[in-house]
Chain A
Amino acid sequence: MKKISTLTLHNLKKAKGQFISFGVFICLTAFIINIALVLAFQTFNAYDSLFDQLGAADINFIIPEIQDYDDLLTEVEEMDGVSFVEKHGGVFTTATVREFAGSDFDMNTVFYSLDEERTLNLLDVTNYSGEGGNSVYIPLYMRELGGFTEGGSITYSIDGEEHTYNIGGIVSEMQYGNYGTGMIGGYLPGTLYEDFAEEYSNNVIVEYSLKISDTADLSEMKNTITEKLREKGIALMSINDKDTSKQTRTMVCTLLIVIFLALAAIILVVSIFLSNFRIRSAIEGELAQMGVLKAVGYTSGLIIASTIMPYILVGVIATVIGIVLSYSVLPSVAGVLAIQSGFSYTPEFDIMALLIVILTLTCAILLFSYLSAGKIHKLEPINAIRGITGDESAGQNILLFIVSFGIMVLLSFAGTLLYNVNIKPDNFMNTLSEEIPSVIFTAEDDKLTELEELLQTDSRVKLVLEYASVPVSYEDGSLTAFVCEDFSKVTNDICYEGRSPENENEIAVGNAISDSYPIGSIMTLTVGDKSADYRVTGYIQSVNNAGSVCQLTREGYEKIGESINSVNVYLYDKIAGEFINEYEENHDTLIKSSVNYEQLNENGQMMYTGIVSVIVVILFVISVLMVLLVMYVIINSMISRRKQEFGIYKAIGYTNGQLTIKTALNFIPVVAVASVISAVAGLWYLPAMNNTIFSMIGAIKNHFEVAVWILIVFAVVFTAVAFVISVLLSAPIKKITAYSLLKD
């Protein structure tokens, strides 16, 4: 070590700028990887920890109280694998939550008593001392996404009756804390709950919460329960398990981790290529000096060590800085995630993440810088002194090509996200949602046809479609069924394989159960005491319902359920609010209720686009920074390597301007070709990237458009920016004089 300390220090000092740029890249990489790892390690752990802390059940199922019987508890307790069972009472409602993020939002809401004794599914309630008055306590999700605050009020509209409560506090719980599970909780003080339960006595439910033994299989247990209840003729209103809930509530976190890791991988690859470029340039530029070092007795190993040691030192220091910096933004990132996950935690220092980041980056830098410097082994001292390297420098153009290509991949990905989220947000929402009408009207009994005829004569209406989301049961639990008069008319085709149902005996099933139901197989659905068989024709996706969905034709659903009574209305313009007001005023005999879906959709967009916009901004900033740093490294290397050549050009009369342009033009063609090829190749790799990333959250089919014009614009702008930056960074050429050439 002592033998190379002087040389190492010298190598570090003489290319300070290059090492700073390398350090910035590594710092950025460490920053992003550490965020991803801390989120990966702590979000899921925080979830598990809260799960344990609140004694959350492994499985919860809900049945109507009227169908519950005394021995059911014992029967469930005696099932193999069940270690503990507890019953809770509740009131199941389909409530319209007024002003949820500025709009009315229909939500399956289960109301519970805060005063009920619990061993399982404990409630962590803020500001509740047993005296709640007219207060409801809401899940964190309602506060974060719905915009409700403690001390404010909330109105639930249930069966046409408005219930307005003060918001007494926030409840942390693991069961219904996110509407992705299809249900949300509402918690009332004991006496208030009792009055409420009395008012909605038909809606009173019993919730069975189960703890199962470590050896028991969760999904097998769910199937056994479902089968048992089916045999007993008991309606299973809902069944959920801890794994599905966790997956739903950590969906955006998973997406963020995947994007961050992909981003970090691209930056790491670019920085490794850059360090490779720099090392190879240094070897070529300092060939004679390396020959001299060999002459005075340095072994290849010592020279290589002194060449790569600065990269290791800078890499380790930059990694530590990046990790430290990441902790300044992690609380904010966790806060953004709480909007979707419905639970919050404060990220803490994570030694495991730190070790993984340091080890990964150090090993990557060590390996690739060693491989880059490996050619020093082959240098014969006398040949090195005479300037004979034994290979061509064409490799540098290849490196430049790869780096430019990599940056363009990043820009294209960011640009495509931006285009599909901000310019064409329907593409993004269609990927995450199902049908997106402007308005949903529920007709008064027997008034659906009349309402439809009226709407069809309205010139502002583009399409009227009988469509409804209704719960149905199948042998393993419950699903949300999308029922439609004609799926060929839907505006968002969520079928990603096979086709939507066309006949009354056909069904398309969601991705959550697609493995159990191959296309062509038969599935039995039940509503109440009616069941019917359907042949599976295809697979559909639904991020919101975690894939637990199906599609039925109107006639198909009517075999087991009542006639659907609602229509989707698609308007030409964004006038849903005034449209609803007008219809509710003028046609109140036809309309039972209405939903401003346009507003709801915009609210949904707000949540997701907020998160995605943050990602896009980060990607753009990183891309611009990378372009700047890459150009700096390349131009600096080029100038120092070709200093003599520039001196000669100056001696024979070239001006600074001519040499600057000449320098830029030396590599701009490579950048331009790489950018254009990357832009064109983007037509292939961007859909693949988007598919991979979005399939992780259940959006197997994404509606993203890859706008080739955007990619071409990016390629042109990238090349132009590279050119401008190169001209600016070529300033040191001015300092090279013909005299300094002679002196050197």
Chain B
Amino acid sequence: MSKETVISAKHLKKAFGKGDSIQVIYSDLNIDIYKGDFTVIMGSSGAGKSTLMYSLSGMDKPDGGEIFFDGTDITKLNNDKLAVFRRKECGFVFQQIYLIDKMNLMDNVITAGVLTSKDKEDIKYRAKELFSLVNIPETTWKKTSSQISGGEAQRAGIVRAVINSPNVLFADEPTGALNSANSAAVLDVFSSLHKKEQSIVMVTHDKKSALRGNRIIYIKDGKIYGECDLGAYEQDDAGRTEKLDKFIKEMGW
């Protein structure tokens, strides 16, 4: 059965700088993201992984090309329409987490939730469910980001990202600032969301994180250099680990 395409990017161009110092990130990149997939984008530092992810999510505008998100070319949207598009279609998890300072976890989530729902009680109800899903106890909901661990903060960040039931959840190195125990807990959340058929696009250069995905895309020299289908995630699946190791070795990792 062929997969449903949720994002289709064609002939993407992106460069930074001007004149002699111009740095071309990609000049003619094509990529499709499928519904229900946990897509992992890998590549060396500076390859343009995050830039690609942020272009696909409407956070950044490519210099050229088209990006069809559920049939809409988001490159044609102005900033305000892009904001409305993001609130409905996308969720974001960042490496540095970026919960709003001095605002408690529940309010952080509500701040995102009120953008799509007028019923605050409904938002709270969903937030509570999601907090349970990511193992954040009720005693922590009223704490601010400086009063909890990095892992808890990142899991709260995930709750904020999915409170509006986004079409695609984007994650940029979500475990990059966490220790291994916290990383595992966060990745477990991603896996459980994926099991619930949440489409996820994650940028990482961490093998353990990449193993959670079912589709690995390797970026090199501004192109999709290679792609690997790992299949559904199973804990302690040595076959998947070997497959990923082999793939990234082939990519020159």
Residues of A within 8 A of B90 (CB): 295, 297
Residues of A within 8 A of B (CB): 2-3, 5-7, 10, 13-14, 286, 288-289, 291-302, 377, 380-382, 385, 740, 743-744
Residues of B within 8 A of A297 (CB): 83-88, 90, 112, 115-116, 164
Give the Cβ gap from A233 to chain B, nearest Cβ, in Å: 85
> Contact between B96 and A296 (Cβ–Cβ < 8 Å)?
no
Not counting A10-B107, A297-B116, a sample of 4 additional A-B residue pairs whose C-beta atoms are within 8 angstroms of each other reads A7-B111, A297-B86, A299-B79, A300-B79
> Contact between B83 and A294 (Cβ–Cβ < 8 Å)?
yes
> Contact between B102 and A10 (Cβ–Cβ < 8 Å)?
yes
- A contact face: mostly helix, strand, loop, or mixed: helix
A-B contact pairs, 30 of them (CB 8 A): A6-B111, A10-B111, A14-B102, A288-B98, A289-B98, A289-B100, A289-B101, A291-B98, A292-B92, A292-B98, A293-B111, A294-B86, A295-B92, A296-B87, A296-B112, A296-B161, A297-B86, A297-B88, A297-B90, A298-B115, A299-B83, A300-B80, A302-B83, A380-B60, A380-B61, A382-B59, A382-B60, A385-B94, A385-B98, A743-B146
Give the Cβ gap from B81 to chain A, nearest Cβ, in Å: 9
> Contact between A13 and B102 (Cβ–Cβ < 8 Å)?
yes
In the bound assembly, the distance between CA atoms of A380 and B111 in angstroms comes to: 20
In the bound assembly, the distance between CA atoms of A288 and B97 in angstroms comes to: 10
Q: Which 10 A-B pairs have the closest CB atoms?
A: A297-B87, A299-B83, A382-B60, A292-B98, A296-B112, A299-B80, A297-B86, A14-B102, A295-B92, A382-B59
Kindly state whether residue B212 has any CB partner on chain A within 8 Å: no
Kindly state whether residue B118 has any CB partner on chain A within 8 Å: yes
In the bound assembly, the distance between CA atoms of A744 and B147 in angstroms comes to: 10
In the bound assembly, the distance between CA atoms of A380 and B118 in angstroms comes to: 27
Given contacts A294-B83, A296-B87, A297-B83, contact A2 B114 (CB under 8 A): yes
Give the Cβ gap from A202 to chain B, nearest Cβ, in Å: 87
Give the Cβ gap from B46 to chain A, nearest Cβ, in Å: 14
Query: Which of B59, B88, B102 has its CB near the most chain A CB atoms (within 10 A)?
Result: B59
In the bound assembly, the distance between CA atoms of A295 and B169 in angstroms comes to: 12
B:27-71 near A, CB below 8 Å: 54, 59-61
Residues of A within 8 A of B161 (CB): 296
Give the Cβ gap from B25 to chain A, nearest Cβ, in Å: 13
A379: nearest residue on chain B (CB-CB)? Answer: B79
Query: Which of A289, A291, A297 has its CB near the most chain B CB atoms (within 10 A)?
Result: A297
Residues of A within 8 A of B120 (CB): 2
Kindly state whether residue B189 has any CB partner on chain A within 8 Å: no
Residues of B within 8 A of A294 (CB): 59, 83, 86
Give the Cβ gap from A642 to chain B, nearest Cβ, in Å: 15
A288: nearest residue on chain B (CB-CB)? Answer: B98
Kindly state whether residue B110 has any CB partner on chain A within 8 Å: yes
Residues of B within 8 A of A302 (CB): 83
> Contact between A295 and B60 (Cβ–Cβ < 8 Å)?
no
Residues of B within 8 A of A13 (CB): 102
In the bound assembly, the distance between CA atoms of A613 and B164 in angstroms comes to: 63
In the bound assembly, the distance between CA atoms of A295 and B86 in angstroms comes to: 7
> Contact between B160 and A381 (Cβ–Cβ < 8 Å)?
no
> Contact between A286 and B114 (Cβ–Cβ < 8 Å)?
no
B163: nearest residue on chain A (CB-CB)? Answer: A296
Give the Cβ gap from A735 to chain B, nearest Cβ, in Å: 13
In the bound assembly, the distance between CA atoms of A295 and B114 in angstroms comes to: 14
Kindly state whether residue B187 has any CB partner on chain A within 8 Å: no
Give the Cβ gap from B218 to chain A, nearest Cβ, in Å: 22
Residues of B within 8 A of A10 (CB): 100, 102-103, 107, 111
> Contact between B103 and A301 (Cβ–Cβ < 8 Å)?
no
Give the Cβ gap from B142 to chain A, nearest Cβ, in Å: 14
B97: nearest residue on chain A (CB-CB)? Answer: A292
A744: nearest residue on chain B (CB-CB)? Answer: B146
On chain B, the number of residues with a Cβ less than 8 Å from chain A's Cβ atoms is 35
In the bound assembly, the distance between CA atoms of A300 and B98 in angstroms comes to: 18
In the bound assembly, the distance between CA atoms of A385 and B83 in angstroms comes to: 15
Residues of B within 8 A of A380 (CB): 60-61
B147: nearest residue on chain A (CB-CB)? Answer: A743
Residues of B within 8 A of A292 (CB): 92, 94, 98, 100
In the bound assembly, the distance between CA atoms of A381 and B160 in angstroms comes to: 17
In the bound assembly, the distance between CA atoms of A295 and B111 in angstroms comes to: 12
Residues of A within 8 A of B94 (CB): 292, 385
Give the Cβ gap from B131 to chain A, nearest Cβ, in Å: 17
In the bound assembly, the distance between CA atoms of A380 and B103 in angstroms comes to: 23
A10: nearest residue on chain B (CB-CB)? Answer: B103
Residues of A within 8 A of B60 (CB): 380-382
Given contacts A297-B84, A744-B146, contact A2 B98 (CB under 8 A): no
> Contact between B114 and A3 (Cβ–Cβ < 8 Å)?
yes
In the bound assembly, the distance between CA atoms of A10 and B100 in angstroms comes to: 9
> Contact between B79 and A286 (Cβ–Cβ < 8 Å)?
no
In the bound assembly, the distance between CA atoms of A296 and B60 in angstroms comes to: 13
In the bound assembly, the distance between CA atoms of A299 and B115 in angstroms comes to: 10
A4: nearest residue on chain B (CB-CB)? Answer: B114
In the bound assembly, the distance between CA atoms of A286 and B98 in angstroms comes to: 10
Residues of A within 8 A of B80 (CB): 299-301
Interface string of B96-137 (1 = CB under 8 A from A): 101011110001001110111010100000000000000000
B161: nearest residue on chain A (CB-CB)? Answer: A296
Given contacts A14-B101, A744-B146, contact A6 B110 (CB under 8 A): yes
Residues of A within 8 A of B102 (CB): 10, 13-14
Q: Which of A2, A6, A298 contacts B83 (CB 8 A)?
A: A298
Residues of A within 8 A of B115 (CB): 3, 296-298
Give the Cβ gap from A18 to chain B, nearest Cβ, in Å: 13
Residues of B within 8 A of A300 (CB): 79-80, 83
Give the Cβ gap from B167 to chain A, nearest Cβ, in Å: 13
> Contact between B92 and A296 (Cβ–Cβ < 8 Å)?
yes
In the bound assembly, the distance between CA atoms of A380 and B107 in angstroms comes to: 24
> Contact between B86 and A382 (Cβ–Cβ < 8 Å)?
no
In the bound assembly, the distance between CA atoms of A381 and B60 in angstroms comes to: 7
Residues of B within 8 A of A2 (CB): 114, 118, 120
Query: Which of A3, A14, A295, A300 has its CB near the most chain B CB atoms (within 10 A)?
Result: A295
Residues of B within 8 A of A744 (CB): 146
A296: nearest residue on chain B (CB-CB)? Answer: B112
Query: Which of A13, A299, A300, A740 has its CB near the most chain B CB atoms (within 10 A)?
Result: A299
In the bound assembly, the distance between CA atoms of A297 and B88 in angstroms comes to: 8
A3: nearest residue on chain B (CB-CB)? Answer: B114
Give the Cβ gap from B27 to chain A, nearest Cβ, in Å: 20
Give the Cβ gap from B10 to chain A, nearest Cβ, in Å: 21
In the bound assembly, the distance between CA atoms of A382 and B110 in angstroms comes to: 22
Residues of B within 8 A of A301 (CB): 80
Residues of B within 8 A of A289 (CB): 98, 100-101
Interface string of B129-173 (1 = CB under 8 A from A): 000000000000000001000000000000011001000000000
Give the Cβ gap from B132 to chain A, nearest Cβ, in Å: 21
Give the Cβ gap from A725 to chain B, nearest Cβ, in Å: 26
> Contact between B86 and A296 (Cβ–Cβ < 8 Å)?
yes
In the bound assembly, the distance between CA atoms of A744 and B111 in angstroms comes to: 21
Give the Cβ gap from B30 to chain A, nearest Cβ, in Å: 21
In the bound assembly, the distance between CA atoms of A513 and B107 in angstroms comes to: 71
A13: nearest residue on chain B (CB-CB)? Answer: B102
In the bound assembly, the distance between CA atoms of A547 and B123 in angstroms comes to: 74
In the bound assembly, the distance between CA atoms of A380 and B88 in angstroms comes to: 19
> Contact between A382 and B100 (Cβ–Cβ < 8 Å)?
no
Residues of A within 8 A of B116 (CB): 297
A285: nearest residue on chain B (CB-CB)? Answer: B101
B114: nearest residue on chain A (CB-CB)? Answer: A3
> Contact between B112 and A288 (Cβ–Cβ < 8 Å)?
no
Residues of B within 8 A of A291 (CB): 98
> Contact between A296 and B160 (Cβ–Cβ < 8 Å)?
yes
Residues of B within 8 A of A295 (CB): 59, 86, 90, 92
Give the Cβ gap from A291 to chain B, nearest Cβ, in Å: 8
Give the Cβ gap from B51 to chain A, nearest Cβ, in Å: 8
Query: Which of B101, B118, B164 has its CB near the most chain A CB atoms (within 10 A)?
Result: B101
In the bound assembly, the distance between CA atoms of A744 and B181 in angstroms comes to: 19
In the bound assembly, the distance between CA atoms of A295 and B115 in angstroms comes to: 12
In the bound assembly, the distance between CA atoms of A126 and B85 in angstroms comes to: 78
Residues of B within 8 A of A3 (CB): 114-115
